[in-house]
Amino acid sequence: MEATKKVEPRQPEVLSLNDVLKRVPLLRRIVKDAVDCFEGRRKAKEFLEELSIISRKFSSSEIEETMNSLRREVIEKDRAVGAYEKEVRDLGGTLKDAGRGLAYFYSQRDGRRIFLIWELRDPEILCWHELDESFSDRVPVDMAGSARSSSGLDLPERG
């Protein structure tokens, strides 16, 4: 009998601001596809729910066929979103919200871990927040200051 190897969970990569910025062009394409796919899934699921209500009063083979097709579409879209999530992970990030196009990356500030945040709606601005904070606590990264910083991550103080 062979001994099974215990697989250790992979530690998230800690990236500098410059590392994340280099990934943005590819990230933008992946996240746009993920957002489009997520929206298509949302619409298919919404239509499926509407047909489900209609099918309670009116039974037909066409409605059932359409519902089955929509169920398959939702499953396919779930798989596709999962593949996009993996592509973002392969870039060192996490697709935090496929509907909004929000990606998080681990970074460091003053020796502690933080999240760098990139959003499809505002692709030219990176923000950050502490690991124990939420998206609403984010602060924009000072891009001009970061170019001067030796660490590559010059983050504004919270005021």
pLDDT digits (tens, 9 = 90+) for 52-95: 999 999 989 999 999 999 999 999 999 999 999 999 999 999 99
* Cα dihedral sign, 150-135-124-15: positive
Q: Whole-angstrom Cα distance, residue 128 to residue 152?
A: 14
Single pTM value for the model: 0.81
If you average pLDDT over every residue of the chain, what do you get? 87
